[in-house]
Amino acid sequence: MATNYPANLKYTKEHEWVSVEGDVATIGITDFAQSALGDIVFLETPDVGTKLSAGATFGVVESIKSVSDLYAPVSGEVIEKNSDLEGSPEEINSDAYASWLIKVKLSDTNELNNLLSAADYENFCNSSH
Amino acid sequence: MSNFKTHLYDEHLKLNAKIVPFAGWDMPVQYTSVKEEVSAVRNSVGVFDVSHMGEFFVTGPDALKFVDYILTNDISAAEVGKAIYSPLCRENGTVIDDLIVYKFSNERLLICVNASNIEKDFTWIKSKLGGFNCELVNKSDDYSLLAVQGPKTYETLVKVFPDLENISYYSVIEKGSFIFARTGYTGEDGFEVFGSHQEIIELWGKLIALGVTPCGLASRDVLRLEVCFPLYGHELDDNVTPYDATLGWTVKHTKENFIGKDALTNKPTKYKLVKLLLDKGIPRDGYPVVNAQGENIGVVTSGTMSVTLNKGIALARIDVDKVPADDVFLIDIRNKHYPAQLVKKSFVTGGHK
């Protein structure tokens, strides 16, 4: 299955994508991740106001046969969550980059330097799997 | 050591299967989507490569007597040409494996065992041969095995084998070097077809060309759990008796003698296996089960999202002295307690006849 890696996004080795506008990061899981998980049937994300710490788990995504933790790519406060997605998590399988999970107000924009570029993330996916 | 591969491994790669290690084998876990594969088997027809399973032949004048002695179910009473599901127990009643016996004749029987237990089973069964005039041969390396499952199985298989008889559920026939058994692990009508590696590779190709959906281990697990079939290593293991897994019906005390008879006489039960259905949350193997007071009373042995019901389903092992009188069960999912409804019948009723 062909996966894609939009160049305008940042990525983590835990297979999250990040889109940055000013000091707000929009976070989702990558096309590679949804493909590896298969049919996504359940999503658990934090409520607005929750403080996230980079690298810590912030939620769960479940396919029919698996449970995977979500890891915060950056630190900050959740300012919005995509509640619609909880009722139809399979949309992540249809379009992972349109299916954002949460928006976070960054507490340290320097953390963005720790994220991977599209090219680096693609190399990571190709080498580790 | 690298894992074993079935002779169909290259066929799986051609179909872009996702491969995972299972019981020492590299097996296809899914091809396109678990949902599509489950639906194909419930509504049409799917095919599974289950060549990793073990085949032992018992032959000779005492073959039936021996197989009947080592198993708890009644193999003697079954007619020739039937398949019989049975646990294989120790003297103390604990379960070594669960398996299917195919009774070709009183002098020739096939035992099909779980891949993960081939060596354990063979060693055990061989050690019990003393005093019986029969031979035990492990033919696992000589056979490939396909499970063709779903309501359209027969009409599909007759396109490949025009003279295939429409045999009844849990029956078996041999045709040339093929063995056709009307058995399976999905609750649907279906055949399991044993044959030489080359024959089975060719059959696989023909079935795929006929539009049969290739199905992996993930859909197989969902399918068997929806109809509440036990899986060794989950509902059954070395520490429980058939009674701990609601398999009392497979222990036939009327038989004169069989291994484990004394220990199983009083139906020893440490656990009650229950079926739990959730409106919210997906139960997984190992999740704790608690009562209304929040006390730990057992554990989920198998759990998944049911594709057919679109709800979480679980089989759970409850300590027999902690079974709640009020039938209130909750499952601890990441430290939150989700209510689970106790159900009596299987979650899904398969269409086998």
Q: Quick check: B88 pLDDT over 50?
A: yes
Summarize pLDDT for A15-25 with one digit per residue, the tens. 999 999 999 99
Residue B342 pLDDT class (50, 70, 90 cuts): very high
Q: Which residues from chain A sit within 8 angstroms of residue B305, using beta carbons?
A: 41-42, 62, 64
Asked if B282's CB is within 8 angstroms of A42's CB, the reply is yes
Q: Quick check: B2 pLDDT over 90?
A: no
- B 299-338: CB under 8 A from A: 304-305, 307, 334
On whether any CB of chain A is under 8 Å from the CB of B108, the answer is no
Cα A11-A57-A33 angle, rounded to 5 deg: 40
Gyration radius (Cα) of chain B, Å: 20
Asked if B305's CB is within 8 angstroms of A67's CB, the reply is no
Summarize pLDDT for B147-184 with one digit per residue, the tens. 999 999 999 999 999 999 999 999 999 999 999 999 99
- B 4-43: CB under 8 A from A: 16, 18, 29-30, 33-35
Q: What's residue B235's pLDDT?
A: 98
Asked if A42's CB is within 8 angstroms of B30's CB, the reply is no
On whether any CB of chain B is under 8 Å from the CB of A39, the answer is yes
Asked if A65's CB is within 8 angstroms of B304's CB, the reply is yes
Q: Which residues of A105-129 are buried (b: 16+ CB within 10 A; e: fewer)?
A: bbeeeebeeebbebeebbebbeeee
Asked if B284's CB is within 8 angstroms of A64's CB, the reply is no
All domains in chain B, ordered by first residue: 4-51+143-226 (3.30.1360.120), 54-140 (3.30.70.1400), 270-343 (2.40.30.110)
**Which residues, in sequence order, are bridge partners of residue B5?**
B26
On whether any CB of chain A is under 8 Å from the CB of B125, the answer is no
DSSP-based three-state secondary structure for A90:
coil
Asked if B305's CB is within 8 angstroms of A42's CB, the reply is yes
Distance (Å) of CA B8 to CA B16, B49, B213, B214:
13, 7, 15, 12
Confirm whether A124 is domain-assigned.
no
On whether any CB of chain A is under 8 Å from the CB of B239, the answer is no
Summarize pLDDT for A74-114 with one digit per residue, the tens. 999 999 999 999 899 999 999 999 999 999 999 999 999 99
Average pLDDT of chain B? 97
Q: Quick check: B1 pLDDT over 70?
A: no
Q: DSSP letters along B195-239, please?
A: E-HHHHHHHHHHHHHTTPEEE-HHHHHHHHHHTT---BTTTB-TT
Mean pLDDT of B42-49: 98
| Among B53, B78, B256, B28, residue whose Cα is nearest residue B139 | B53
Confirm whether A128 is domain-assigned.
no
Distance, CA of B169 to CA of A80 (rounded, Å): 55
On whether any CB of chain A is under 8 Å from the CB of B280, the answer is no
| Nearest residue in B to A67, CA atom | B284
Asked if B218's CB is within 8 angstroms of A65's CB, the reply is yes
Q: Which residues from chain B sit within 8 angstroms of residue A39, using beta carbons?
A: 33-35
Residue among B16, B30, B304 minimizing CB distance to A38: B30
Residue B352 pLDDT class (50, 70, 90 cuts): confident
Confirm whether A64 is domain-assigned.
yes
Asked if A65's CB is within 8 angstroms of B33's CB, the reply is no
Q: Which residues from chain A sit within 8 angstroms of residue B284, using beta carbons?
A: 67
Q: Quick check: A1 pLDDT over 60?
A: no
Residue among B16, B281, B304 minimizing CB distance to A1: B16
Q: What's residue A127's pLDDT?
A: 86
A-interface mutation test, from B22, B35, B309, most A Cβ less than 10 A away: B35
List all residues 6 or more positions away from B227 whose beta carbon is below 8 Å from its beta carbon.
B186, B187, B346, B347, B348, B349, B350
Confirm whether A120 is domain-assigned.
no
Distance in Å, alpha carbon of B219 to nearest chain A alpha carbon? 9
Residue among B16, B222, B281 minimizing CB distance to A64: B222
Confirm whether A104 is domain-assigned.
yes
Mean pLDDT of B59-79: 98
Instruction: Kindly state the greatest CA–CA separation across chain A.
Output: 38
Confirm whether A29 is domain-assigned.
yes
Q: DSSP letters along B22-40, please?
A: ETTEEEEEESS-HHHHHHH
Q: What's residue A2's pLDDT?
A: 55
Q: Quick check: B353 pLDDT over 80?
A: no
Q: Which residues from chain A sit within 8 angstroms of residue B281, using beta carbons?
A: 42
Distance in Å, alpha carbon of A94 to nearest chain B alpha carbon? 13
Asked if A39's CB is within 8 angstroms of B282's CB, the reply is no
Q: Name the domain count of chain A.
A: 1
Summarize pLDDT for B270-284 with one digit per residue, the tens. 999 999 999 999 999
Asked if B284's CB is within 8 angstroms of A38's CB, the reply is no
Confirm whether A121 is domain-assigned.
no
CATH number at residue A15: 2.40.50.100
Residue numbers of the domain that contains A53: 10-109
